Amino acid sequence: MKQYMKFIRLRYKLFFILLIFWFLLALNFRIETILAGIFICGIVTLGTYQVLYDDDGYLYQPIRLRTIIVYVLFLFVEIYKASFMYVFNLLAHKYEPVVFDIVLDVEDPVLVGIISNSITLTPGTITIDTDTEEHIIQVMTLAEPNASADDLERPVRENFERLLKQKGDIK
């Protein structure tokens, strides 16, 4: 019984975070969607054994639940804002694709992966390559022809990195 409780304790947070994210993406609460979400989140939770956690606990520094919730809500706001800006920029014909590298100020490879995926989820930006050892992300975005590297990095740093590296948010 004690071993079963340890099994559940290690996995329930990840399962519920995945399930909340599932419902935010689906925005559909029909019974089929709920059952599919529970099934898929359960499979993903079990499939991350030895990747995110092992029998001794998590293999990375966990992020506070409050920070994750704020980050996910902020990410959705950024996705919607960027989608409108992306359409406007396409219609204006004054932007061109630009590729740039950004060296992140976070060392945890999980946080680098979260930032990298957040960039890709935002319309008009794509993460081309991620180097978790050097903390470098290569990004393609639409920008004005003479935009500086600082101008291109600023939204990534302000919108994604800042939220995840706040002092006290990593346990």
Query: Could you report the per-residue pLDDT of 5-31, keeping only the tens digit for each?
Result: 666 666 777 788 889 888 888 888 899
Task: Note the pLDDT of residue 167.
Answer: 43
**Count of H-run helices and E-run strands, the chain:** 6, 5
One domain for residues 33 and 104: no
One domain for residues 53 and 77: no
Has residue 171 been placed in a domain? no
One domain for residues 40 and 76: no
Q: 17: number of CA atoms within 13 Å, CB side?
A: 18
pTM beyond cutoff 0.85: no
Domain residue limits at 12: 2-58
Write out the two tokens for 81: 């804002």
Has residue 170 been placed in a domain? no
pLDDT tens-digit series, residues 36-57? 999 998 888 888 777 666 767 6
As for how many domains the chain has, the answer is 2
pLDDT tens-digit series, residues 112-129? 888 888 888 887 788 999
pLDDT tens-digit series, residues 58-110? 666 667 778 888 888 888 888 888 888 878 877 877 778 889 899 988 888 88
Has residue 170 got a pLDDT over 50? no
One domain for residues 148 and 88: yes
